[in-house]
Structure 1
Amino acid sequence: MSKVADGFGEMVWKIDGYDGTEQIFEQRIPLNNASSERIAGILKDLASKHLTPGEISAGLADVRSDAQHGNRIILMAGQDPYYVAALFRSDELEGDADSRLAE
């Protein structure tokens, strides 16, 4: 039980990018290094790289929140390619072979 409680102290943003079903981007950022506003800015910047100025002004890089997944904070940007950021306890990502933390 204490291991689960300890994991709440170290939250991590997990950011993944996809082109269709192919993963094209992956990054982990500790919560104490990035607010949700900063993560939203990163998502918008990543999505904007694949869009024309007209598509950006039409809002295709705007960040959306997915409130349908219970208590998990999930942010998304882009169409295809698209980027997803979700907040996890660090212990939820343990054993994730591709887990990389950005300091």
Structure 2
Amino acid sequence: MSRIVEGFKNQVWIIREMKGNAVIREFKRPVQQANENDIIILIETLARNHLTAEEAERSPDLWRHHKDSGGNRLIFSAGQNPHYVAAMYRSDEIQDR
């Protein structure tokens, strides 16, 4: 039980670049270094970098973030193939990764 409590004190964002169902790359940010807004800006910027300025202006849904509804985990996504998924994990959930 104490391991779980400690895990909540040290939460981590895991950000994945995905192409289809394949993970292209993955990186982590401690919650202390990046809040929700920081993560949203990050994944929107990453997604927008794959578009031309005209595409981004005409089709903002191609890069704007969406919040997953349901479940117990905080998850944001942005982009379309490649797309980016950011999810918050307790540190004890990712120690074995």
User: Do they fold alike, i.e. is TM over 0.5?
Assistant: yes
- Distance in 1 between the 2:85 and 2:91 partners? 17
Q: Name 1:7's counterpart in structure 2.
A: 7
Aligned residues: 95
For residues 1-103 of structure 1, what are the structure 2 equivalents within 5 Å? Answer: 1-57=1-57, 58-59=59-60, 60-68=62-70, 70-96=71-97
Compute the displacement of 1:20 (Å). Answer: 1.8
User: Residue by residue, what CA displacement relative to the aligned partner does 1:66-97 show, whole Å, maximum 9, x if unpaired?
Assistant: 012x121000000110000000000000110x
User: Could you list the runs of 4 or more consecutive aligned residues of structure 1 that deviate by over 2 angstroms after TM superposition?
Assistant: none
- The one-letter code matched in structure 2 to 1:66 is D
Q: Name 1:99's counterpart in structure 2.
A: none
- Distance in 2 between the 1:10 and 1:36 partners? 15
- Distance in 1 between the 2:7 and 2:24 partners? 28
Compute the displacement of 1:38 (Å). Answer: 0.4
Percent sequence identity is: 39
Compute the displacement of 1:21 (Å). Answer: 2.7
- The one-letter code matched in structure 1 to 2:34 is A
Secondary structure of the corresponding residue to residue 71 of structure 1: coil
TM-score of the superposition, structure 1-length normalised?
A: 0.87
Gaps of 5+ in 1: 97-103
Gaps of 5+ in 2: none
Compute the displacement of 1:25 (Å). Answer: 2.2
Secondary structure of the corresponding residue to residue 93 of structure 2: helix
- The one-letter code matched in structure 1 to 2:18 is Y
- Distance in 1 between the 2:24 and 2:52 partners? 19
TM-score of the superposition, structure 2-length normalised?
A: 0.92
